[in-house]
Structure 1
Amino acid sequence: MSDALLNALAEALAGLVTAVETSDEDVLDPDTAVKWLEDTGHVLAGLGAADRRALDGLFREAALREPPGARREELLKVSAGFGLDEDPHLAAVDAVADHARRYADTVRGADPATPVPTCPGWTLGDLTRHLGTVHGWAEHLVTARPATRVRAAELPLDPPADPSSYPGWFADRAERFTAAARAVDPAAPVWSPGAEPYVRHYPRHVLAETVVHLADAEIALTGTARPLAPGTAAEALDHHLATAPYIPWIAEPLAHLDRDGAVLRLDARDSAASWTLVLGGGGFAWSRGSLGSGGAEPTTTVTADAGELLLLVHRRYDADDPRFALTGDRDLLDDWLAAGAL
């Protein structure tokens, strides 16, 4: 898609939103206006941080092309109205804090010996200890900012001896991580297990871990996971796809799938988010939408809510679950899931 087309679409959308917001009641029914704006906001909520930043910039550029005056001022409000001007680093930290509180509330008082079916061989206590370790490890990394890898086992994270005390220990570790992440420049360099060696990597990493393991705990205790906000799920899926090529036990099996040119499409029905994965070259390339497929028809398409797609990719749900609509080559999906899960 050309820059000219992107700019034109952003300008048209910003103008339409401004027209809806400033219409008189006798021109546009207020309930209809609210529904239109809510529907648009719901779609934009499915965008990842990078896309939200890009759209924010396009909206602002469109506004500044207008001469000074009331219309320019209204156009400049569009990004804020949809929350596109939020600091993506702080937004990720806030999301970590929110989902960590949900996790602590979910497991507090539960039997730590409860089996976790989505993590075979683990108990709820094991899961909570693991997630607390992730938060403690990430806190050390954003605080000390080492240039080389530090393993969690090398750190004095001090989990309690009694598994029934793990929820409180986890909550403390989560609070310490979010406090540390808020206090640090997101562009500060630090080792990371991916392509982004900066502090801003870690809130996204910890958020992805937390939302997936929250689902594990909910499934263990109630049999099902609560729905995830589309934007949060999309951010976690973006992070997984961006990081997978740097994780040897994922990258190596994917490199040997022998499905060069195959295209796997993931469509989120609760937002406009979609992902296109093109296999080949000893790995895969991915993009939002179909831009990365070079116009090729998907070999396989899976449609579900964004959170369900995230949990499918992590093999928390089975592809046979009726919540997933599948078209095309089922073998491609099965091969990807077998190779690509953490």
Structure 2
Amino acid sequence: MSDALLSALAEALAELVATVDTSDDEVLDPDTAVRWLEGTAHTLGGLGQADRRALDGLFRAAALRQPPGPWREELLKVSEGFGLTEDTHAATCEAVADTARRFAATVRAADPATPVPTCPGWTLADLTRHVGTVHRWAEHLVRTRATVRVLTRDVPLDLPADPAAYPGWLAAGAERFAATAREADPDAPVWSPGADPHVRHYPRHVLFETLVHLADAELAVAGTVGPLHPGTAADAVDHFLGNAPYIPWVAEPLAHLDRDGAVLRLTARDTGAVWTLALGGGGFTWSRGSGGAEPTAGVEADAGELLLLLHRRYGADDPRFTHTGDRDLLDDWLTATAL
């Protein structure tokens, strides 16, 4: 693709977005505008850091070609509106460390032998050891730029002999991972178990793994889950759906689900995010937004609640979920995608 074509496409997109943002409610329904912009934001959010910087430059160049005035100012807001000026990689690395600190604080004063109801057969010690192992495994992969799969048993863990010391060990490993990943080029290639074989995969993967297991720890210790940031939870749902086809024990049951043509829709009350899952072809496809075929079934809750539903931390019968359509489809999906 030529530089001229890239510039023209960026300028067209920037002008479209600015037009939507500045349209009166009588001209463009606000809900429709939100759906349009959310879908675009999701697409651009999947770009690597280098591409985000390049697109920001193209948007800014398009704006500066306009004469000074209100329209130029609107165009200059486009990059910021899509978060292209943010260093999302560094922010995600820091979020890993923050979430690990919260996890360590949750389990530090608890009996390591406390059962974890959402992970049958596990104690808090088992859960903490698992999460800390994920941190060290991911740090090893990013630091060595591994090109093939590395098993956790081949990564030095330096696990303390006393389970009471596990929380401090976990927090230290998370800090080490965050520092290693922050210093790495997010677009550098590295083996991954999912859809994105680059360094940028790991901060998101480790953050969401830690977040879900933090919920496990909080349920075991306090019986309730602490607040989940809605935007982070929505991103975690994206991550789960994007990587599910690469997980054999998820992809195989989905391939035999026998619900071709069925459509499952997830709606987040707090963020307004919508995920549409179309089953068929030996698996499923998904997209952000409510376009396309009418859903066979739908479920609505806050983004964090939907995340924990997908990971079976909440049951679908919990009153926090509102259901529409064929409830059996949701149950079939949850059974097939059990991790």
Query: For the aligned residues, what is the CA RMSD?
Result: 2.9
Whether 2:193 is the aligned partner of 1:193: answer yes
Deviation at 1:51, TM superposition (A): 3.6
1:101 paired residue number: 101
Secondary structure of 2:318's match? Answer: coil
Deviations, residues 77-102 of structure 1 (Å, cap 9, x unaligned): 46447855212222221221221121
Letter in 2 for 1:299: T
2:19 paired residue number: 12
1:286 paired residue number: 286
Specify whether residues 81 and 5 from structure 1 end up closer, same or farther in structure 2 by C-alpha distance, changes over 3 A only.
closer
1:298 paired residue number: 295
Secondary structure of 1:317's match? Answer: coil
* Counterpart-to-counterpart distance in 1, 2:274 and 2:61: 26
Normalised TM-score (structure 2): 0.84
The number of equivalent residue pairs is 313
1:255 paired residue number: 255
Structure 2 residue ranges without an equivalent (≥5): 1-8, 25-29
Specify whether residues 74 and 48 from structure 1 end up closer, same or farther in structure 2 by C-alpha distance, changes over 3 A only.
closer
Letter in 2 for 1:134: V
Letter in 1 for 2:212: V
Secondary structure of 2:276's match? Answer: strand
Secondary structure of 1:303's match? Answer: strand
Q: Any residues of structure 2 matched to 1:55-70 within 5 Å, and which? A: 60=60, 63-64=63-64, 66-69=66-69
Contact 2:139 2:176 in 1 (8 A): yes
Contact 1:10 1:62 in 2 (8 A): no
Deviations, residues 173-217 of structure 1 (Å, cap 9, x unaligned): 000000000010011111100121110110111011011001111
Specify whether residues 62 and 224 from structure 1 end up closer, same or farther in structure 2 by C-alpha distance, changes over 3 A only.
farther
Specify whether residues 178 and 303 from structure 1 end up closer, same or farther in structure 2 by C-alpha distance, changes over 3 A only.
same
Deviation at 1:154, TM superposition (A): 1.0
Contact 1:14 1:75 in 2 (8 A): no
Instruction: Quote the sequence identity (%).
Output: 68
* Counterpart-to-counterpart distance in 1, 2:11 and 2:290: 19
Secondary structure of 1:244's match? Answer: helix
* Counterpart-to-counterpart distance in 1, 2:212 and 2:44: 21
* Counterpart-to-counterpart distance in 1, 2:79 and 2:71: 14
Whether 2:179 is the aligned partner of 1:179: answer yes
Secondary structure of 1:120's match? Answer: coil
Specify whether residues 312 and 193 from structure 1 end up closer, same or farther in structure 2 by C-alpha distance, changes over 3 A only.
same
* Counterpart-to-counterpart distance in 2, 1:173 and 1:304: 33
Structure 1 residue ranges without an equivalent (≥5): 18-35
1:340 paired residue number: 337
Contact 1:48 1:234 in 2 (8 A): no
Letter in 1 for 2:328: D
Letter in 1 for 2:330: L
Secondary structure of 1:189's match? Answer: coil
Contact 1:267 1:303 in 2 (8 A): yes
Contact 1:52 1:84 in 2 (8 A): no
Deviation at 1:223, TM superposition (A): 1.0
Letter in 1 for 2:99: H
Specify whether residues 267 and 5 from structure 1 end up closer, same or farther in structure 2 by C-alpha distance, changes over 3 A only.
farther
1:207 paired residue number: 207
* Counterpart-to-counterpart distance in 2, 1:66 and 1:16: 19
Name the stretch that deviates more: 74-83 or 204-213.
Answer: 74-83
Normalised TM-score (structure 1): 0.83
* Counterpart-to-counterpart distance in 2, 1:59 and 1:318: 44
Contact 1:132 1:173 in 2 (8 A): yes
* Counterpart-to-counterpart distance in 1, 2:289 and 2:325: 17
Contact 2:96 2:207 in 1 (8 A): yes
Q: Any residues of structure 2 matched to 1:227-238 within 5 Å, and which? A: 227-238=227-238
Specify whether residues 94 and 15 from structure 1 end up closer, same or farther in structure 2 by C-alpha distance, changes over 3 A only.
farther
2:27 paired residue number: none
2:317 paired residue number: 320
Specify whether residues 89 and 271 from structure 1 end up closer, same or farther in structure 2 by C-alpha distance, changes over 3 A only.
same
Contact 1:304 1:323 in 2 (8 A): yes
* Counterpart-to-counterpart distance in 1, 2:45 and 2:218: 30
* Counterpart-to-counterpart distance in 2, 1:59 and 1:311: 37
Deviation at 1:52, TM superposition (A): 7.9
